[in-house]
């Protein structure tokens, strides 16, 4: 277990506006799991060929994806965007 946290960037209202509640719950569940990975979260998702930077991870069987930034210096995973094809 790590001391990492997660947050929305720029804000929860901006990123989750108009999303179904189930999608928001899944995004928050995944963000919690990414934070639990700690520094290893810089390796999760796309792109596969490098670490760090803005990462993408499929949600709900490919019906959308989240873009997130894992920042080791802040010990935080920032959810930057949610794309939902619903």
The parent domain of residue 21 ranges over 5-46+53-84
The proportion of the chain whose per-residue pLDDT surpasses 90, expressed as a percent, equals 83
Residue 52 zone, left/alpha/beta (φ > 0; ψ -120 to 50; rest): left
pLDDT digits (tens, 9 = 90+) for 39-58: 999 999 899 888 889 999 99
- What CATH number is given to the structural domain containing 15? 3.30.2310
* pTM (two decimals): 0.91
Domain count, the chain: 1
Distance in angstroms (rounded) separating the CA atoms of residues 13 and 18: 9
The confidence score (pLDDT) of residue 1 equals 61
Question: Mean pLDDT for the chain?
Answer: 94
């Amino acid at each position: 277990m790590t001391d990492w946290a997660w947050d929305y960037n720029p804000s929860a209202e901006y990123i989750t506006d108009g999303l179904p509640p189930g999608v928001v719950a899944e995004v928050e569940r995944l963000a919690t799991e990414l934070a639990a990975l700690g520094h290893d979260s810089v390796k999760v998702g796309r792109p596969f060929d490098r670490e760090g930077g803005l990462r993408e991870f499929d949600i709900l069987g490919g019906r959308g994806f989240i873009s997130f930034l894992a920042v080791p210096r802040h010990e935080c995973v920032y959810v930057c965007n949610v794309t939902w094809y619903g």
